[in-house]
Amino acid sequence: MTDSSPKLLEIVPLLEAIVGERNILLHPESYLYDETPKPVRPEAERNVVVVRPASTEEVSRILRLANERGIPVFVRGGGTGLSGGAIPTRPGIVMSMERMSRIVEIDEQNLVAVCEAGVTLRQLLEAVEKVPGLSFPPHPGDESAQIGGLVANNAGGARAVKYGVMRNYVLGLEVVLPSGDVLSLGGKVIKNVTGYDLMHLIIGSEGTLCVITKAILRLIPEPGATYTLVIPFDTTAEAIRTVPEILRSGVVPLALEYMDIEAVRAGERVTGKKWPYSGGKAHLMIIVDGGTEDELMHKSEVIERVARRHGALDVLVGVGRREQRDILEIRSLIYEGLKEETIEVLDVSVPIGSIAEFVERCQDEAERLGIKVLHFGHAGDGNVHQQVLRWGFEGDEWVESYSKFKEFAFGLARELGGYITAEHGIGMVKKEDMARTMPETALTLMRAIKRVFDPNNILNPGKVIDP
Ligand SMILES: Cc1cc2nc3c(=O)[nH]c(=O)nc-3n(C[C@H](O)[C@H](O)[C@H](O)COP(=O)(O)OP(=O)(O)OC[C@H]3O[C@@H](n4cnc5c(N)ncnc54)[C@H](O)[C@@H]3O)c2cc1C
């Protein structure tokens, strides 16, 4: 807390009475920002109190207090978000969920994991790995993200092409409303059509409707072993036009990722590892899974035939664990490798049949505007990541070209039947873009929903949509 805002000073002793003195932090430096690239992230408000509750009851008492006094509350998970969602932008409370990190149970009978919102993805994966035969497939890139944050963002990741996104794995939620009321939704059931689906409304609500305190997550039988294919092409068009045909071939890959060669180079630089093929302008990285070697071989051969028909320069099949891990690591760390030079990572969603047109037209536009945009990402599900770079610009010179490029990419995505964000969310950085690209009727309904859940606008105010 940087100044003596009377409203905030007054509640410090009341918050201490709820969570204990040790769990109030008045120097919030490491709780202010998330992973949103610096050039586009909002300025954090430093006049905040960080509170670290350990139970649903404490969350409820904090929210009731804040609601009565009209004090903003910014919920913080792992802080890995890419849209500024967890950044406090007004004086208020940052509620960090890190102490609610208990895996309540892995219920083998019902194939579910029950965990508190502050459990990290890494923690959950390790716990599930210990139970033979079970797995939790969603794998958004950063394992320090928390379950609450993953649900609040409806996170996706590379495996979504086969196994879906977070939403497909949430069976139940415990949430706390701004009033302090605790609500349990769903449960250990697969089917439930009892009234409006409030649980699915909350999934993806980015901390603006309620605080998620617990989640019941679906587990599935372990898919088996994997092979990782690296397929280089001379042109983007050839690589991307291969994608829909692979998806029509009868093989559903576990991951189907597209990468410009310069993106691959960035991953190599940061990992110190070598990609298996040095030439080619555009690469596909495809992971197949299966129960037997024969199944894996068959899937790889089908993909190879399709790729070669589209001009693949080679098809390299990684079979060994280490070899596959290295390839995946290079792919996973592309963002990290370019972080300092990045203006923004766009993540539009387009129908899979339109990916090639989207990427080619964006590449032309970027060239026309003189701005460097690397394309990579989850091509198999139509989610194209575009890492827009500062290369060639001094100071703030990039602003105009970047704004024009973003407007073009978002407009094109909508024209092709897609959306401006597939998994990173609206947060603060895409709020105006959402208002510009969504129908007014949808925005009116969103505003009304926000008012019903949060009539005093205390939860993550200023993010996603204004009431
Ligand atoms: C290297 C890297 C790779 C990534 N790869 C992917 C990817 O492949 N796919 C993908 O989808 N995302 C990806 N992300 C983005 C990020 O990991 C996800 O958005 C993730 O869901 C954020 O979770 P978090 O716990 O870090 O949330 P935070 O960043 O802490 O918060 C994100 C939003 O969720 C809200 N929130 C957090 N916890 C709660 C809660 N308990 N209750 C209510 N609201 C809450 C916050 O208020 C905020 O609005 C990546 C990020 C990085 C840095």
Q: Is 77 in the pocket of ligand 1 (CB under 6 A)?
A: yes
Predicted pLDDT of residue 360:
92
* Cα 400 to Cα 377: distance, rounded to the nearest angstrom: 25
Q: How many CB atoms lie within 10 A of CB 392?
A: 11
Asked if residues 431 and 87 have their Cβ atoms less than 8 Å apart, the reply is: no
Among the listed residues 160, 379, 430, 389, the one whose alpha carbon sits nearest the alpha carbon of residue 258? 379
What is the full per-residue pLDDT of the chain (467 aa) written as tens digits?
Answer: 655 577 888 999 999 999 999 999 988 899 999 999 999 999 999 999 999 999 999 999 999 999 999 999 999 999 999 999 999 999 999 999 999 999 999 999 999 999 999 999 999 999 999 999 999 999 998 999 999 999 999 999 999 999 999 999 999 999 999 999 999 999 999 999 999 999 999 999 999 999 999 999 999 998 889 999 999 999 988 998 999 999 999 999 999 999 999 999 999 999 999 999 999 999 999 999 999 999 999 999 999 999 999 999 999 999 999 999 999 999 989 888 899 999 999 999 999 989 989 999 999 999 999 999 999 888 899 999 999 999 989 888 999 999 999 999 999 999 999 999 999 999 999 999 999 999 999 999 999 999 999 999 999 999 999 99
**Fold observed for domain 225-335:** Alpha-Beta Plaits (3.30.70)
Q: Give me ligand 1 centre to Cα 70, in Å.
A: 26
In the block, tokens 């989850």 appear at 378
Predicted pLDDT of residue 28:
87
* Cα 53 to Cα 146: distance, rounded to the nearest angstrom: 15
In the block, tokens 């497909």 appear at 168
CATH 3.30.70.2740 fits 338-435, yes or no: yes
* Cα 387 to Cα 373: distance, rounded to the nearest angstrom: 6
Same fold yes or no, 225-335 and 338-435:
yes
Predicted pLDDT of residue 373:
95
In the block, tokens 């047109």 appear at 357
CATH number assigned to the domain covering 103-221? 3.30.465.10
Asked if residues 349 and 308 have their Cβ atoms less than 8 Å apart, the reply is: no
Pocket test for ligand 1, best of 89, 142, 183 (most atoms within 8 A of CB): 142
Q: Is 118 in the pocket of ligand 1 (CB under 6 A)?
A: no
Q: At the top level of CATH, which class does the domain 6-99 belong to?
A: alpha beta
Domain boundaries, given as residue ranges, for the chain: 6-99, 103-221, 225-335, 338-435
DSSP codes, 147-168: HHHHHHTT---TTHHHH--GGG
Counting every residue written for the chain, the total comes to 467
Among the listed residues 68, 84, 65, the one whose alpha carbon sits nearest the alpha carbon of residue 429? 84
Q: Is 81 in the pocket of ligand 1 (CB under 6 A)?
A: yes
Q: Is 207 in the pocket of ligand 1 (CB under 6 A)?
A: yes
